[in-house]
Each structure stands twice: as structure tokens, then as C-alpha cells.
């Protein structure tokens, strides 16, 4: 469904989500107009979006993984309601539609208000579990390798922004307005951002550069992964011997089938998301690759039925598989 230019454009945006179309066109060997036209088409037909997000490890924010078990008839409505919140991402229908999975962003290590006060008071929710994300090994600023297969080393070097210097940068109230605007559109122009934040364009340019330089702000790319031949997604909840958790998680982070690997609290201590072309490929991955890790003592697999919301606002294409 995508040709080499389309895939190259997606790859380029993963390297620098705010790179000018002229620079991307130069790297891909096509005109600026062609890049702009392809970008508009991918946005319209495949939900392509660049989103600007805070890195929890650099900003002091936190993430909780929440699993809600509920009646199938209520799951989709509940998922849509949760997707409309500003503090949620990756809202999914899983386990055949009997469970809603989501990530809740919080300002600190305390449990977010959603877990305590904001869930609908309904008998349709029959179970709740919450898992605090302790460490992310793959995901966030690190993109799924399955989208990064087109550009060679030389092309990547031409797009690569300066490496973050590191450090800790708590998000201020003023920064929060900017992050909200970039979460809606990570490629928004300085003029559009100025209208949304009330800052001057020169101030915005300096603030964005500073946030990116420290790694507090990173740019992610959303697109329907079915165009990359992914039809089967699953969340993998593993119990790993604590002394071997780092070793196992770092090894899994190199698996091309995985897009997310993190250590969490809870009955399981490791979560991963698998993206596979079909159920048979997922079966092979579970039995052959994961099955070779003796340190994995237990594994629960929850198939993803649909994604209602990814990292930005709810998908403009609606619920997608």
C-alpha cells in the first residue's frame, strides 16, 4: 500500500519529525512538492501524524498501565470515553473486546486521579489492575524498527538532529501549554503554536530547541501499521526473575517483532507489545524466541482487537485494528 517514497518519508519523520520537507525531499531524491503531497495523502488515508511528547525519564512525569475488565457491550463505549481524556494514550480494546488497556500519564509517582475518582461508576467494569512503569527499554523516543528500513546510514545522517545532552527538565505550566499543542500536531508551524500558546515565535523556537536539546521533548510518528503488513498485535505480560530482568528486557529490545518493552510493578514485572504479520508469526515468536528465555517464568498474551487512541488525540480514522 506504500511505495518506497512513502516508507522513506515515514522513516525520515521518525528521525526528525520537524525536518523541513525540502530537506526530506533532498534525502529521498524527490521534490519538496512531492514530499508535501505524499505527507498530506498519508495523513488523510493512513492517519499519519507527528506528535510531540514529554520523555518521562527527563521530565519527572510518570506512566501507569491500566487494565479494565468489563462486559463486551460496554468496552467500546468505555474506551472511547477514556480516549477523550488529555492524560491517556494507547487506549486499546484487547482480549476479544472484554478488556480495555490504556496508559495514564501523571505528574508524579502518585496514582493518577483517574484510578481513584474518574472511572465511570458502572457495574460493567468487573476488574481493575494498575501497573506503574518503572523503566522503559524500548518505546517512547525509540521507534519500532519495523518502520525504519528504508534510509541508509548516509541518508539518516543528513536528517539526524543533535543528540540530546541529557539532564532533568521538569515541565512548567508554560511548557504544558506547548506540549499540549505539539501533542495535537508535532509539525505545527511557529505561527500556529504562537496562536495556541500566546508566545512569540522567537520564544517558541528557543523553547522547542531547548526541550529537544535536553531530551525532554521527543517527536513520535503515528501511522496505521497495517501498511507495514502488521495484522496481529498482542500485549505480552511476563514474569521474569528479578535478577535477570535487565538482561532479558535488553535482549527483547533487539527483537524486530517488539515495539515496546518496559519493567512494571504488579503480578507481572515485564510488558512488551508484539507486532506480527499474522497469528502464525506471533505463535512462532512466542514458542521459538521467547520460549528460549529460561528466566521468563510465566507469560500472558492479550491480543489487541483495536486501537482507539495512540499517543496523540483519538485516531482521525476511528477505531483501527
Q: Do 190 and 205 contact (CB within 8 A), yes or no?
A: yes
Mean pLDDT of the chain: 90
Terminal alpha carbon distance of the chain: 16
Query: What pLDDT, in 10s, does the model give residues 205-221?
Result: 999 999 999 899 999 99
pLDDT of residue 173: 79
pLDDT in tens, 12-29: 999 999 999 999 999 999
Q: d(Cα 271, Cα 133) in Å, to the nearest integer?
A: 9
Q: How far apart are CA 69 and CA 101, in angstroms?
A: 9
With beta carbons less than 8 A apart as the criterion, state whether 91 and 83 touch: yes
Alpha carbon distance 283, 257 (integer Å): 12
Contact 85, 102 (CB under 8 A): no
Confidence class for position 110, pLDDT limits 50, 70, 90:
low
Summarize pLDDT for 261-317 with one digit per residue, the tens.
Answer: 999 999 999 999 999 999 999 999 999 999 999 999 999 999 999 999 998 666 544
Given a contact cutoff of 8 angstroms between Cβ atoms, the answer to whether 223 and 10 are in contact is yes
Residues 6 or more apart in contact with residue 291 via CB below 8 angstroms: none
| Residues 201, 191 contacting (CB under 8 angstroms) | yes
- pLDDT tens profile 53-92: 998 888 888 899 999 998 888 899 889 989 988 888 999 9
Q: What is the pTM of this model?
A: 0.89
CA atoms of 235 and 225, how far apart (whole Å)? 15
* Partners of residue 234 on adjacent β-strands: 274, 303
Main-chain dihedrals φ then ψ at residue 149, nearest 5 degrees: -120, 5
User: In 10 A of CB 215, how many CB atoms?
Assistant: 20
Interaxial angle between packed helices 32-46 and 21-28, expressed in degrees from 0 to 180 and rounded to the nearest 10? 100
The closest alpha carbon to 64, from 137, 130, 136, 116, belongs to: 130
Residue showing cell 480494546: 93
> Quick one: cell of 106?
501523571
Amino acid at each position: 500500500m506504500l511505495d518506497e517514497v512513502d516508507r522513506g518519508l515515514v522513516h525520515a519523520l521518525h528521525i526528525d519529525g520537524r525536518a523541513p520537507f525540502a530537506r526530506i525531499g533532498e534525502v529521498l531524491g524527490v521534490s519538496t512538492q512531492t514530499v508535501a503531497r505524499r505527507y498530506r495523502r498519508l495523513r488523510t488515508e493512513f492517519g499519519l501524524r507527528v506528535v510531540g511528547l514529554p520523555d518521562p525519564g527527563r521530565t519527572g512525569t510518570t506512566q501507569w498501565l491500566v487494565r479494565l475488565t468489563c462486559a463486551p457491550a460496554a468496552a467500546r463505549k468505555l474506551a472511547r470515553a477514556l480516549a477523550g481524556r488529555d492524560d491517556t494514550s494507547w487506549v486499546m480494546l484487547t482480549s476479544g473486546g472484554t478488556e480495555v488497556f490504556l496508559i495514564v500519564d501523571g505528574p508524579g509517582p502518585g496514582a493518577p486521579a483517574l484510578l481513584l475518582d474518574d472511572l465511570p461508576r458502572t457495574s460493567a467494569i468487573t476488574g481493575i489492575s494498575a501497573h506503574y512503569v518503572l523503566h522503559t527499554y524500548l518505546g517512547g523516543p525509540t521507534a519500532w524498527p519495523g518502520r525504519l528500513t528504508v534510509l541508509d546510514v548516509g541518508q539518516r545522517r543528513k536528517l539526524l538532529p543533535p543528540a540530546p545532552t541529557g539532564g532533568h527538565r521538569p515541565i512548567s505550566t508554560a511548557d504544558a501549554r506547548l506540549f499540549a499543542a505539539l501533542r495535537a500536531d508535532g509539525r505545527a508551524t511557529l505561527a500556529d503554536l504562537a496562536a495556541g500558546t500566546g508566545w512569540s515565535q522567537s520564544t517558541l523556537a528557543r523553547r522547542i530547541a531547548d526541550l529537544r536539546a535536553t531530551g525532554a521533548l521527543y517527536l513520535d510518528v503515528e501511522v496505521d501499521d497495517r501498511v507495514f503488513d502488521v495484522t496481529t498485535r498482542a500485549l505480552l505480560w511476563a514474569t521474569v526473575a528479578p535478577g535477570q530482568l535487565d538482561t532479558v528486557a535488553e535482549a527483547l529490545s533487539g527483537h524486530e517483532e517488539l515495539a515496546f518493552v518496559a519493567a512494571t510493578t504488579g503480578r507481572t514485572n515485564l510488558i512488551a507489545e508484539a507486532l506480527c504479520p499474522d497469528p502464525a508469526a506471533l505463535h512462532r515468536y512466542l514458542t521459538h524466541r521467547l520460549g528460549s528465555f529460561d528466566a521468563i517464568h510465566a507469560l500472558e498474551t492479550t491480543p489487541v482487537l483495536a486501537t482507539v487512541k495512540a499517543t496523540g488525540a483519538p485516531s482521525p480514522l476511528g477505531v483501527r485494528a
